[in-house]
Amino acid sequence: MTDRDLTHRRAWIAVILCMVAYIFSFIDRQIMALLIGPIQSDLGISDTQFGLLHGFAFAIFYATMGIPIAALSDRKSRPLIIGIGVAFWSLATVACGFARGFLQLFVARVCVGAGEAALSPATYSLISDLFPKERLGRAVAVYSLGSFLGAGIAFLLGGWVIGAVSAGGPQYWLGLRFAAWQLTFIIVGAPGLLLALVMLATIRDPRLRGGQPAPASAVPSVMEVMHFLSRNKAIFLPHMAGYTLAAMTLFSLLSWSPAYLMRVFALTPGESGLRLGWVAIFAAGGGVLASGAIMDRLTRSGGRDAPFRTGIIGALGAVPPLALLPWAASAGQATILLAIAFFFASFPMPPSTAVMQIVAPPSMRSRISALFLGINSLIGMGVGSALVGLANDRWFGGPQGTGCSLAIVAVGAALLAALVLSRGLAPFRRQLETA
């Protein structure tokens, strides 16, 4: 095996391990969507509060911790930062199982977000150093695939775990009572600790020289990063705003699809998880791979605005199935509509990452990625999920109302995303021509 083949192999091993970490992160993040019924029953919380738990609690520290962690990623060992983050959010997920009230569960979810803030900025920066630009889309797509594999496994495994632990009734450990939903958090969170050890032992940072990081003087200051973003605001404003709106569509689907199926069609958590698990893995996962392949093909054929154009295709493609959700007459029809919506709603993930890695210099990539992901999660996930819950509580009460709330929030966000992203097409083309 030549040195080039060995380097290529090591690059893909790093991507696969980071993808597995992304799978774990989405399992720990997404499992709560299936637990809405028992959590609301035990803790007595409203849909608005559940939306805050599922979205805003996770996003608030994901947003605020992402930038300082990314600053470390620009000059320290990225595998070390990723491994610590995996261990921290896994412990926080286990802590969710020990929560005895809304506030305790909220704080634990905040810690899950703080740990997961270490993963994507450092991984995006690492991947951009491992692959050339013409192969970046596919590498990022493989990593991004982990989000939907994780969501799918969370739905599939979550439904099975809930059924298994519920059959045995409440359990008592160390004098404490644990309901089925609490045991579920503990079971899905614990394996991440082992993964963290594997990543620390396997992945090497190609940026390090002789085991030492780049000197601090080579890392731009925060003000230099902000000046760079300001000089390129014609690209980054539509990029960050447009893909944040696209994220609102995706995260609204991830947060409220289980409740929609369970409330409107009277499915059990296991039945809902089975349907949505395969939807997330095959439809959303297929959408991510298709998006990366389309972006790479457009780039090779001379389409300089491929990252923006691919995102617009995804946003517009998600609108028709989402608009039809309130009129689905059966669980089968609803599942088909959700599959189509998830396929297109997943399109923005690879191109949104590619824009940052192509335009930003290597020494700034982690922090710019963290800023984007912070805005993306705080508004796209936090606000999107809460808006659906608020609409349920205020305007669309009753089981049937969940489909209306989900459709209105997701469709509105998708249409706005396509409009805003279109503003970045010409500036991005000019940037590449100048470069």
Tell me, rounded to whole angstroms, the distance of Cα 409 from its chain centroid: 18
Average pLDDT over residues 119-127: 81
Indicate whether 336 belongs to any domain.
Answer: yes
The model's pTM is 0.74
Average pLDDT over residues 79-87: 91
Report residue 176: phi and psi, to 5°: -110, 145
Most confident option among 161-170, 276-285, 335-344, 364-373: 335-344
What mean pLDDT do residues 239-251 have? 92
Parallel, antiparallel, or unpaired for β 176-178 and 171-173? antiparallel
pLDDT digits (tens, 9 = 90+) for 144-166: 777 778 878 877 777 777 676 66
pLDDT at 130 over 90: no
Question: Does 215 reside within a domain?
Answer: no
> What local confidence, expressed as pLDDT, does residue 67 receive?
73
Core vs surface per residue 297-307: b (16+ CB within 10 A) or e: ebbeeebbbbb
Whether pLDDT at 411 is above 80: yes
Structurally, the chain folds into a number of domains equal to 1
- Give the chain's mean pLDDT: 82
pLDDT at 90: 93
Is the pLDDT higher at 353 or at 321?
321
More confident residue, 243 or 49: 243
Over residues 321-332, the mean pLDDT reads: 92
Q: What count of other Cβ atoms lies within 10 Å of the Cβ of residue 136?
A: 24
Identify the pLDDT of residue 207.
67
Residue 3's pLDDT band, with cuts at 50, 70 and 90, is low
What is the helix (H) or strand (E) element at residue 173, kind and residue range?
strand 171-173
Q: Give the bridge partners for 173, in sequence order.
A: 176
Mean pLDDT to the nearest integer, 377-393: 81
- CATH code at 410? 1.20.1250.20
In a domain, 212, yes or no: no
Q: Is the pLDDT of residue 377 over 80?
A: no
Q: What is the pLDDT of residue 397?
A: 66
Q: Is 374 a member of any domain?
A: yes
**In this predicted structure, what is the pLDDT of residue 361?**
82
* Residue 121 counted as domain residue: yes
Say whether pLDDT at 88 is over 90: yes
Among 34, 65, 23, 26, smallest CA distance to 268 is for 34
**At 211, is the pLDDT very low, low, confident or very high (cuts 50, 70, 90)?**
very low
Confidence of residue 288 (pLDDT cuts 50, 70, 90): confident
* pLDDT attached to residue 212: 47
Cα–Cα distance, 77 to 93 (Å, whole number): 25
**Which residue, 214, 270, 292, 224, is CA-closest to 19?**
292
pLDDT at 381 over 90: no
Q: What percent of the chain has pLDDT over 90?
A: 20
- Contact status, residue 420 vs residue 234, Cβ threshold 8 Å: no
Q: Is residue 216 part of a domain?
A: no
User: Quick check: 340 pLDDT over 50?
Assistant: yes
Average pLDDT over residues 20-45: 83
- % pLDDT > 70, the chain: 90
pLDDT tier for residue 418 given thresholds of 50, 70 and 90 = very high
Per-residue pLDDT, 28:
83
How sure is the predictor about 379, in pLDDT bands with cuts at 50, 70 and 90? confident
Q: Is the pLDDT of residue 210 over 50?
A: no
Confidence class for position 68, pLDDT limits 50, 70, 90:
confident
Residue range 203-232: mean pLDDT, rounded:
70
> How does residue 241 score in pLDDT terms, banded at 50, 70 and 90?
very high
Give the residue-averaged pLDDT of 244-269.
88
Tell me if 291 is assigned to some domain.
yes
Using the predicted structure, report yes or no on whether residue 316 has a pLDDT greater than 90.
Answer: yes
**Domain residue limits at 405:** 3-206+221-434
3-state secondary structure of 172: strand
Residue 7: other Cβ atoms inside 10 A: 11
Give SS3 for 221: coil
